[in-house]
Amino acid sequence: MRRCTMNSNEKKDYAGPEATRRTFLQWIGTGTVLTLAQAAACAGPPHLHGRPLSDTGKDSGTDADAVTDADAARDATDAGSTDYPFTPGSTSDATIFQRWPERTVDPQELERILQDWRLTVDGLVGTPRVFRFDELVDLSRLNQVMDFHCVEGWSILDVPWNGLHLSTLWDLVHPTAEATHVTFHTIGGTYNESLPLPIATEPHTLLAYGIAGSTIPLKHGFPLRLVVPRLLAYKSPKYVERIELTNGPVQGFWVQRGYSYDGPVPKSRLREGKY
């Protein structure tokens, strides 16, 4: 597995927007992370430059294990419809990716994500919405340190996730009384998953856009993935681009292939306070 650390050849000044954009693609495309606390128009058409946004994303749900991320996204920019508010950077916990296996059935193209990605929230809601990446980062932020368990038997402990609770979106889209489940559609539609509404809104279920204050590497789910710490990882789809509220369950990729719809992590693998 390729390591996600920065080599000395990548530590260089950026020679204008196009060079910055190339570096952005190299960093996230190879699995390296981007800092959430930096800002520049480094994606999309190179002539676009953004204006700084105020940091209205406020931390919420900070328990004893929460990551301190008060400055994350403070300097985020809105650089146009195809831009992301980050410059290449490093994370204080890059070593976490050196021990994190990649499991992907639907590899994604970074260029398409940078050009076209939006999150749609619809279905049984009163007010369907479409969100840009920077708009999600600007919402109330949930920082939590949780374990991540794969059905294969391996676990990544103490992952410092950054993201938002689904209730934050519900406040904006207003689910109807008929909604009982949530379906998470991924880019390309290959890997979708479904959860009962109560599980989707548990305190530690979140939509993650960052780890340790930096964007998630592409191979681990950039730009957005679901994280349900007490369920096996196949219930936490990567590359989410649509959230649909429904009146019944939907069989996801692995459920269609015989896996349990519920997908609980065995109790013997759960650590107190980490799920």
Q: How far apart are CA 194 and CA 200, in angstroms?
A: 9
Q: How far apart are CA 163 and CA 214, in angstroms?
A: 11
Percent of the chain whose pLDDT exceeds 70: 65
Token pair 């009163």 is found at 126
Query: With 80 as the cut, is the pLDDT of residue 215 above it?
Result: yes
**Residue 197 burial (10 A CB sphere; 0-12, 13-18, 19+):** middle
- Picking from 206, 10, 222, the residue whose alpha carbon sits closest to that of residue 133 is 222
d(CA 269, CA 275): 10
Residue 198 sits at φ, ψ, to 5 deg, of: -60, -35
Integer Cα distance of 136 and 145 in angstroms: 20
Question: Residue 176: CB partners within 8 Å, gap ≥ 6?
Answer: 124, 125, 126, 245
Average pLDDT of the chain is 74
Cross-strand pairs, 159: 146
Confidence (pLDDT) at 94: 57
In this prediction, residues 168-174 reach a mean pLDDT of 98
pLDDT for the residue 109 = 83
Number of Cβ atoms within 10 Å of the Cβ of 104: 13
The pLDDT of residue 224 is above 60: yes
Euclidean distance between CA atoms 274 and 44, whole angstroms:
38
Q: At residue 24, what is the residue type?
A: F
Q: Model confidence over 107-163: pLDDT tens digits?
A: 888 888 888 899 999 999 999 999 999 899 999 999 999 999 999 999 999 999 999
Q: How many CB atoms lie within 10 A of CB 126?
A: 8
Res 274: pLDDT:
96
128 versus 36: which is more confidently predicted?
Answer: 128
Question: Other C-beta atoms within 10 Å of 230: how many?
Answer: 19
Backbone region of residue 201 per phi and psi (left: phi > 0; alpha: psi in -120 to 50; beta: other values):
alpha
Q: Rounded to an integer, what distance in angstroms lies between the CA atom of residue 65 and that of residue 275?
A: 11
Cα–Cα distance list, 37 to 104, 137, 222 (Å): 28, 11, 17
> Taking residues 211-235, what's their average pLDDT?
91
CA atoms within 13 A on the CB side of 247: 5
> What is the predicted pLDDT for the residue at 39?
26
pLDDT one-digit tens code per residue, 51-101: 222 233 555 544 433 333 333 233 222 222 233 443 333 444 556 766 777
How big, in percent rounded to 5, are the helix, strand and coil portions of the chain? 20, 25, 55
**Range with top average pLDDT, 20-24, 63-67, 171-175:** 171-175
Among the four given CATH numbers 3.90.420.10, 3.90.245.10, 3.40.1800.10, 3.90.800.10, the one describing domain 13-94+116-262: 3.90.420.10
**Contact (CB, 8 A) for 184 and 226:** yes
